[in-house]
Structure 1
Amino acid sequence: MSNLKTFLAPQLITSYFHSLSAPTKGITLALISNALFILVGVIVRDLSQTIDIFQILLFRQLVFVALLVPSIVSSWQAMTHPKMPMMHAMRVTGAFIALYFSFLTVSNIPFADATALGFMKVLFVAIISRSFLSETVGTQRIITIIIGFIGVLLVVQPTMDSNSLFYIGTGLVAALGAAVAVICVRKMSVVESKVVVLAYQAIFVGLVTLIPSILAWQWPTITELTLLVLVGVISSIGQWFGVTAYKWGEANVVSNVEYSQMIYSMLLGYFLFSELPNTLALGGAVIIIISALIPFVFRKTLKNRLSK
């Protein structure tokens, strides 16, 4: 009977998932994706005690490339003829900065603080998209960003301590790099295939980290090697869940679910690293989540009014 239950479990989960509405599917996948990326942060934090961050990043990219090989082979013509090479270069630069500095940040400051700083990407995307993509940033969006920024300040609670300021700075640099990468993907998505965009990022970020990794190389133990591979595998799965979430749910709803990372990071920070957030930090987390819900509530209210 136990074997039968084991065999049927995946089918039951699949059947249950298909019974959900499209928006619920999107939200569910996004929640899973966010949890996986927080888990990657936990592993990176542990690995960084003995393995250089460049080496961690190199292994991440190697695993990512290995998983992409079938897609790269089937899209070889597009791979060898990129339509926007300069945009790819900017995206790779942004992705490298985002990955390296986010790994550095999460390894040196409280888990929730590092996560909160990552949400500054929203502010940077709004600023860059306004000038670079000529996108309009409405009053509602500006208010949402300001509220979210206040929440980030309450969670991080920056001090004038030089060590604290340094890692707050690396977190902000990571958020800026992520914003640049997002804007570049938006720009390229019109003409470049998803495989080309993902493969170029995976390959060239790996190449950038190669020499620094060799210079700081340390042969990992079996446990460390397992964790290094897991960073790549979990990141790849998380990215797949995240991309697929947008297939089912509306972009504004799915993107707001990203703020669930704040809850995950506080819980894991407490249970794994004994990082107990104070009252201000908890209030800041609530504010960040509220800032994410504002567009959804506003849109639903507007829809109800128009339907009357």
Structure 2
Amino acid sequence: MKGITFALISTALFTIVGVFVRQLSADYDTFQILFFRQLIFMLLLIPAISKNMGVLLKPNKLSLHLLRIIGAFIALYFGFITVSNIPFSDAIALGFLQVLFVALIARFVLAEQITSTRTFTIVVGFIGVMMVVRPTFAESNSLYVLSGVIAALGAAVAVVCVRKVAQSEPKITLMAYQALAIGLIALIPTLYLWRTPTIEDFMLLLLVGIISSFAQYVGISAYKWTQANIIANVEYVKIIYSLIIGLVIFSEIPDLWSMVGAFIILASALIPLIWSHYQITNEDNPKC
């Protein structure tokens, strides 16, 4: 429950960040948005980095850290490109491929058990997402569709690495390595493509950095408490957050298909909790 709660909070915050990124992408290159995100992240981490320098200089499982950084960069960069160049519903649909990729990687790399119940909830949740967004890709360039698939795969790799490394590394190591590495990767293209932001856009860039930093902290915490494939399934709830944002901010009223899809998504998220509670109850009360 604790891991799932953290994941729900993290997913909600990242959904809000997605709205800001889509707005900023009309005027700024993806590298510049990504650089600001990482720069603010690093500035927020400076006090913790100074207190934990000894730990940061002696990382465990360096190869997994490197793989996670690569996966995170691919997910962020290609994800920003995708959400900026194709219809929002199509981008969301492609993003949920991460759930399927995580389930496969967690099964074969982490040896996490994927029961028939978990498989059922993953499939049902994905069906619910498709009912809400109903992507057509009719107006989308195939190149941007491919970038969405690549972003989902990169995110899945990063998620699995976090799950593996989070068991032996403090959160500051996970956050500092990614913030610094991706920030340096984005620096040179940002200098070349630089565009001075307006005051309003600068505030949005600050919010992207601050909110995503907190979201990442909470998200990493989630992987200390439950399996990667269960956390990944919580990603489906992002579509419900999107419906709420659309209703409150953009006055977009969801249709019947969207409402039914949202109900199915909630059901797919609740089934594992209900089943776990049922099993625990039976273990504590064998006669029940």
Is this contact kept in 1: 2:8–2:237, CA < 8 A?
A: yes
What does residue 165 of structure 2 align with?
188
Rounded Cα–Cα distance in structure 2 between residues aligned with 1:143 and 1:253: 12
- Contact 1:44-1:231 at 8 Å conserved across structures: yes
CA distance in 2, matches of 1:130, 1:222: 47
Give SS of 1:50's match.
coil
Once the two structures are TM-superposed, the CA of residue 256 in structure 1 deviates from its matched residue by 5.9
Aligned-partner Cα distance in 2 for 1:241–1:186: 13
**TM-align CA RMSD:** 2.9
Shift of 1:193: 2.7
* Cα-to-partner distance string for 1:237-277 (whole Å, 9 max, x where unaligned): 22334455678x76698776554422221122344446555
1:89 and 2:89 matched? no
Distance 1:285 1:201, change over 3 A: same
Residue of structure 2 equivalent to 1:222: 199
Asked if the contact 2:95/2:152 (under 8 Å) is kept, the reply is yes
Give runs of aligned pairs for residues 77-226 of structure 1, distance below 5 A.
Answer: 77-159=54-136, 161=138, 163=140, 165-226=142-203
Q: Contact 1:71/1:195 (CA < 8 Å) preserved in 2? A: yes
2:279 aligned residue: 302
Q: 1:89-147 deviations in whole A, cap 9, x for unaligned?
A: 11011111111222223334454554444332221111011222222222111111121
**Cα deviations by residue, 1:17-56 (Å, 9 ceiling, x for unpaired):** xxxxxx5x87766554333222211111111111111100
CA distance in 2, matches of 1:38, 1:229: 16
Deviates more, 1:94-103 or 1:111-120: 111-120
Query: Can you give the 5+ residue segments of structure 1 that lack an aligned partner in the other structure?
Result: 1-22
Match for 2:20 among 43, 52, 55? 43
Change (3 A) 1:285 1:175: farther
User: What residue number does 1:67 align with?
Assistant: 44
d(CA) in 1 for partners of 2:279, 2:12: 31
Match for residue 34 of structure 1 among 4, 8, 11: 11
Q: Do the aligned residues in 2 keep the contact of 1:159 with 1:165 (CA within 8 Å)?
A: no
Q: For residues 55 and 85 of structure 1, what CA distance do their matches in structure 2 show?
A: 28
Percent identical across equivalent pairs?
Answer: 50
Query: Quick one: structure 1 residues 216 and 277, their matched pair in 2 at CA, closer, same or farther if it must change by over 3 Å?
Result: farther
Q: Which residue of 1 aligns with 2:215?
A: 238
The 8 Å contact of residues 116 and 155 in structure 1, kept in 2 or not, is answered as: no
Report the structure number with the largest CA radius of gyration: 1
Cα distance, 1:220 vs structure 2: 0.8
**How far apart, CA to CA, are the structure 2 residues paired with 1:289 and 1:231?**
27
Retained in 2: the 8 A contact 1:256–1:292?
yes
Q: Is the 8 A contact 1:38 1:265 kept in 2?
A: yes
In structure 2, the CA distance between the partners of 1:297 and 1:263, relative to structure 1 (3 Å rule), is: same
TM-score (norm 2): 0.85
User: Is the deviation greater in 249-258 or in 159-168?
Assistant: 249-258
State which drifts further: 39-48 or 106-115. Answer: 106-115
Provide the TM-score with structure 1 as the length reference.
0.80
Q: Give the unaligned 5+ runs of structure 2.
A: none
The one-letter code sitting in structure 1 at the alignment partner of 2:98 is K
One-letter code aligned to 1:124: F
Cα distance change, pair 81–132 in 1 and its aligned pair in 2 (3 A): same
